[in-house]
Chain A
Amino acid sequence: MPIITVEHLSKHFKVYKRRTGFWGNLSSTFSREHDIIKAVDNVNFTLERGELVGYIGANGAGKSTTIKMLTGILVPTSGHIDVMGLMPYRHRKENTRRIGVVFGQRTQLWWDLPVIDSFELLKHIYEIPQNLYKQNLEFFSELLQLQPFLSTPVRRLSLGQRMRCDLTAALLHNPEILYLDEPTIGLDVVAKEQVRQFLRQVNAERQVTVILTTHDLNDVEKVCQRLIIIDSGKIIYNGAIDALKKRYGKTRLLIVDLAQAYSDIQLEGVDLTRRDGNRIWLAFDRDTTSASEVIAQLTARYEIQDLTISEPEIEEIVRRIYELGMH
């Protein structure tokens, strides 16, 4: 039996039209003219206990709105959500006791107080028994190496340290489901890797079901078993990651600054997709062409000053799926 079942879920927002100018402002205060934004539009999916699922999409695609409905912050316009047999909004209090939530953009910790104080407060808020609290605190402090800054005020932590504390704060009461809204945003490579490893471990050792939203394809690749992609409120992909990458993530991009603006550029296995002065954008298939081959060809024929390789971003993959459709 799934731990989360979402059926025909929709969330529509009314956006009131505003006119400019004094009289426009005045009249829009009284008139009820509005557009309807379908932030989430007839979404269906299920999650099994112990799954680790990435929920991705471009900005404004409906990720956060879905998470907010699952956590009980927002009420659906229509459709049905079942989380552990509860309706998150109607059984808000009971639901919150059994879930953990991390907002990457906003800490849930007490900003001016030592980290440990936040944990103590959460112990009382969630009525965590003392022995369970001690046990969990020890477990997470060790796993995330929190010991050195447990008595440091939250405001003086680095972003990576703060995220580790936020993760602990969300898990102290042994939630069955952990929701993460962009947990790696703004973190450096090392900190990102730490968070990813932690999520895998928590998922494997404590059987916590994890659903995370992100912009970073690496998060999904390294952490998740399954991927749900949402675009303009609709789910456009729901399945394994490998299949998706095979189909859409094959193209890599090489950005090259040439020493001069060569009039015609010819390279095998490479598409010139854009050109701006001395800078050119080259796209190539990662399966048939390697980056070193492309670079070797380039240096043999042209004088280059600088180059960077970029991997396909979620946005890029989403765009391609959207353009090409699911086949």
Chain B
Amino acid sequence: MMRRYIKLYFLLAGAYVRSRLQYRLSFGLMCFGIVVSEACLLGLLGALLAKFRTVNGWTWAEVVFLYGLGNVAHSFMRILGSQLDDFDRYIIRGELDGVLIRPVPPLFYLLASRVELIHVSRALTSVAIFVVAFHLTDLRWTLSVALFTFTTILSGGVIMFTLMLISATVALWTTKSGKLTDLLVAATKEAAIFPISIYPLAVRLLLTFILPVAFVTYYPAQQLLQKGEFLGMPESFQFGAPVVALVMVCASYLLWCSGLRRYHSTGS
């Protein structure tokens, strides 16, 4: 059963990638654009930190570490959730009907049928940045560090993915949700790559309990970098990412199912 779905995922995703490769030039330009834009962002970050040295007690290396961690999680989420980039298109054009006549779970079918290479190349860039950042800090690869980092990236990716899924699911009620998704994608990414201690209390609470992006980078980084700044939150939050991810998966899946039930009864 599991093997069938893994195979089907790669077949469907492969079909999408082959479709995109029909337009080679536009793909090449896209990849080039990503490398340039990432380099520019990092350059800007470097320039700012060279002037101010630290951000709220975070050194240049630590901020780049956070940036890398957030970016890796974000870009892996984007690969998995490529379909959610403009999910409302499915509703507007009635393409969801074509998904519902297949003997496969609709969410699986949707996610498998689109894997944007732009996100793959972004993920590669961000992994490179993260590895460099890792070595700029005092961290050394040990088994426990590697395991914790891996779990953090996985949980972080899942948390960001569920946020995106929730915003896309809104389209099942409102028909349109593209702008909301764009906003959430941009906001969560920005929020994840800076220490949340720079924000006022209300924003910190928002990023902890409503859009739990702080669990993607900030809290786990407390463990990895031994910063010990918890801003009045329980210290156990540094290990909270997998739990938050699990809760978010359940919540977003329930919302998706109820959205689909609504589509089943309205067709729009």
| Interface residues in chain A, defined as those with a beta carbon under 8 Å from any beta carbon in chain B | 13-14, 65, 68, 71-75, 77, 89, 92-94, 96-97, 99, 101, 103, 106, 108, 110-113, 117, 121, 124-127, 153
Contact = CB atoms under 8 A, between A and B. Distances in A.
Given A96-B103, A113-B18, A125-B104, A73 B8 contact: no
B4 interface: yes
Contact of B8 (A14, A94, A113, A125): A125
Contact of A74 (B20, B22, B103, B267): B267
A121 to B, nearest CB: 6
Interface string B90-110: 000011011011111100000
B19 A92 contact: no
A92 B4 CA distance: 19
B236 interface: no
B264 A73 contact: yes
Interface in B60-103: 94-95, 97-98, 100-103
Given A14-B266, A117-B18, 11 more contacts: A71-B100, A73-B100, A74-B265, A96-B102, A97-B103, A101-B101, A110-B15, A110-B19, A113-B18, A117-B15, A124-B11
Contacts of A110: 15, 19
A303 to B, nearest CB: 51
B118 interface: no
B120 interface: no
11 contacts: A13-B267, A71-B101, A72-B100, A72-B101, A75-B265, A89-B264, A96-B100, A96-B101, A96-B103, A106-B98, A153-B22
B117 interface: no
Nearest to A126: B103
A75 B102 CA distance: 16
Q: Which 7 A-B pairs have the closest CB atoms?
A: A112-B19, A96-B103, A75-B264, A97-B103, A101-B101, A73-B100, A93-B103
Nearest to B266: A13
B116 to A, nearest CB: 14
A125 B7 CA distance: 10
A14 B97 CA distance: 20
B184 interface: no
Nearest to B93: A106
Interface in B1-31: 4, 7-8, 11-12, 15, 18-20, 22
Given A96-B102, A96-B103, A121-B15, A103 B264 contact: no
A68 B103 contact: no
Contact of B103 (A14, A108, A112, A125): A125
Interface string B248-268: 000000000000010011110
Q: Chain A: interface secondary structure?
A: mixed
A73 B267 contact: yes
Given A73-B100, A74-B264, A89-B264, A113 B19 contact: yes
Contacts of B261: 75
B7 to A, nearest CB: 7
Contacts of B19: 110-113
A265 B94 CA distance: 51
Given A75-B264, A111-B19, A68 B97 contact: yes
A251 to B, nearest CB: 36
Nearest to B11: A124
Contacts of A92: 100
B103 A113 contact: no
Contacts of B94: 106
Nearest to A110: B15
Contacts of B97: 68, 73, 103
B267 to A, nearest CB: 5
Contacts of B267: 13, 65, 68, 73-74
Residue in B19, B261, B266 with the greatest tally of chain A CB atoms within 10 Å: B19
Nearest to B18: A113
Contacts of B101: 71-73, 96, 99, 101, 108
A94 B103 CA distance: 7
Contact of A108 (B11, B98, B104, B264): B98
A260 to B, nearest CB: 50
Contacts of A74: 264-265, 267
Contacts of B22: 112, 153
Contact of A121 (B11, B100, B264): B11
A127 B264 contact: no
Nearest to A100: B101
Nearest to B104: A125
A113 B15 contact: yes
B7 A124 contact: yes
Contacts of A73: 97, 100-101, 264, 267
A153 B94 CA distance: 23
